[in-house]
Amino acid sequence: MNFFLTEEQKAVRKLARDFAEKEIKPVVAEDDHTHRFQKEIVLKMADQGFFGAAFPEKYGGSNLGFVAHAITVEEISKAESSLRHFFNMQALTCPLTILNWGTEEQKEAYVRKLIRCELFGVNAMTEPNAGSDFASIHANAVEDGDFFVINGAKMWISNAPIMDTGVVYVKTDPKIVPKHRGISCFIIEKDMPGLSRKEIKDKLGHHSAPTGELIFEDCRVPRNNLVGELGQGFKIAMTALDFGRISVAAGAVGVAQACIDESVRYCNEREAFGKKIGEFQMNQQKIADMIAGTEASRILLYKAAFLADKKIRNTFESTIAKHVASETCVRAARFAVEIFGGYGYSEEYPVARLYRDAILYQTGEGSSNITSMIIASDGLGWKKVKVDY
């Protein structure tokens, strides 16, 4: 068992860390207040190859792997969590789905352009009345010659306001039992007649991450845009979530580390009752808990990413990594606000933003309730997802 990063992975970390310091941190506060989509930064990230770590060179990637991807996401999220969304849409749940399940024509048409941000992608799963219960989605597609006609709506879709293309999951056989077997996956494009978008602007956090709704009204999608086979959509989506949880866990670790960094700095600067506030045992306990939780989360994250690099199913490991990291992230953000006291409630300091951004990690790519159910169901022997390796 080797816990050391390779020289290549250390170089990836340095590149991402330097980029965050130079390109992201100087503008993050302004963008958070104005809710501005940071397109220039995202394009620069694409130029650095940040979205291509998990992709072969044939399709424009660097083939550095999922551990390298996780390292990059952590460093970027530590500076600005809103930017983590793009690691899913431009790297994992959108183009990786096409890479893993699409035809060669689909791969050639979309994968390279997505990871280079020549196209902005979406992964449209959630609906207004179906989030965690994905098998109960209502959006449907009916065959019509060489097309499928889609009707329905998708909600809380990252990149929806700026999308060029992406994958959408719909019911193609609503009568089949069990119901998850009637879901299929299609590639969509923004200019398809019958597809419209609506931005969601009022959010607690992640203000610079464009989020919205996709509305399908007799939207005609060519049969050639089917990803995988009819009825295979649920399996495709669950596989995408395994990879997506690696990204979410990495983002949560990044935010937790940012909370640690800000809290340590403040503890060594702020004085009360004639001494540094870091000398108070209660603050030391908070710092210790934050560090321990974040280190544990990072190890779980790297384990899941390592298995992904070895092409070993990692549903159990990525779910645990996401669960622990997201809970740790929220706790670290709360502790950071408590350490800052009244200033923690002020937008003058970054911990207020970190607290608002942290909450989403308990929801993205499966809520904490769902990840708990997956872990417990495996442990109880009811639904095994853990594999021997």
Classify burial at 107, counting beta carbons within 10 Å of its beta carbon; exposed 0-12, middle 13-18, buried 19 or more: middle
Q: How far is CA 95 from CA 106, 107, 359, in A?
A: 10, 8, 26
DSSP symbols for 52-79: -TTS-GGGT-----HHHHHHHHHHHHHH
Tracing tokens 């997506």 back to the chain, one arrives at 244
Query: How many angstroms separate the CA atoms of 60 and 48, rounded?
Result: 12
Which of 80, 213, 327, 365 is the catalytic position?
Answer: 365
CB atoms within 10 A of CB 36: 15
CA distance 324 to 372: 10
Secondary structure letter of residue 342 according to DSSP? G
**Other beta carbons within 10 Å of 202:** 6
For this structure, is 365 an active site residue?
yes
Helical residues (DSSP H) of the chain, grouped into ranges: 7-19, 28-34, 39-47, 66-79, 85-89, 95-101, 104-115, 233-269, 281-309, 315-340, 350-358, 368-379
C-alpha to C-alpha distance for 71 and 77, rounded to whole angstroms? 10
Q: What dihedral do alpha carbons 266, 272, 278, 282 form, nearest 10°?
A: -120
**Maximum CA extent, the chain:** 79
Give the active site residues: 365
